Amino acid sequence: MSRRPSRRAGLLAAGALVIAASGTLSGCGSDDSSSSSSAGPELKVTGAYMPAPSTDTMAAGFFTVTDSGGADTLTSVTSDLSDEVTMHATEDGTMREKESFAVPAEGTLDFASGGNHLMFAKLTHKPEQGEKVSVELHFAKSGTVRISMPVKSATYNPKTGH
Ligand SMILES: [Cu+2]
């Protein structure tokens, strides 16, 4: 497996800022560590958080999927907090709902403020800072990855950690 120092350094930097909520999932056949294109995905979800919403109408969610194996696809997201969780991309300042997001082989899929984001509509309750929201990410190959998404302040910035 080739090493890419710059990406690795970036991940380490990002990892240092992750406060909580990491989910790990190995694809089937995880004993096979070959990195050929036929290898299954090996996903890790880090940096998940939800900025505390001001009402119970709508909330956003962010996280990073790191894949150290073959490609996968994020096909849907579910949560106890809402029956209507949708995935959005922001392109040229306009947000657009998307049916799925590609997880590149040995790459990352980022949901970050100002970019891709989850939207939770018609919340069962208004999540308060400090609470953790259970969220299930559904992948085409890896199946379901359940994460615990901490509710941060409304203005939380993962780069500064507060
Ligand atoms: Cu949106």
State pLDDT tens for residues 95-144: 999 999 999 999 999 999 999 999 999 999 999 999 999 999 999 999 99
Average pLDDT value for residue range 44-63: 97
Residues 6+ apart with CB under 8 A from 23: 44, 45, 48, 137, 145, 146, 147, 148
State the pTM of this model: 0.76
Number of domains in the chain: 1
How many whole angstroms from 72 Cα to the centroid of ligand 1?
22
Contacts of 36 (CB under 8 A, 6+ apart): none
**72 has pLDDT over 80:** yes
**Residue 140 domain boundaries:** 5-152
Distance 67 CA to ligand 1 centre (A): 24
Q: Ligand 1 centroid vs 118 CA: distance in angstroms?
A: 7
CA of residue 2 to ligand 1 center, whole Å:
36
Alpha-carbon distance of 58 to 125, in angstroms, equals 10
- Mean pLDDT, rounded, for 19-43: 56
Q: What is the pLDDT of residue 6?
A: 53
The pLDDT value given to residue 81: 98
Longest dimension (CA), the chain: 47
In a domain, 26, yes or no: yes
Residue 23's Cα: distance from chain center in Å?
10
Within 10 angstroms of residue 145's Cβ, the number of other Cβ atoms is 19
Distance from Cα 60 to the centre of ligand 1, integer Å: 8
Q: How confident is the model at residue 39 (pLDDT cuts 50, 70, 90)?
A: confident
Q: Ligand 1 centroid vs 154 CA: distance in angstroms?
A: 16
CATH code of the domain in which 104 resides = 2.60.40.1890
Q: What does the angle CA 35 – CA 39 – CA 46 come to, to the nearest 5 degrees? A: 80
pLDDT in the model for residue 38: 66
Tell me whether residue 157 is in a domain: no
Q: Give the count of beta carbons closer than 10 Å to the beta carbon of residue 82.
A: 22
CA distance 150 to 61: 10
Lowest-confidence pick of 11-20, 44-53, 81-90? 11-20
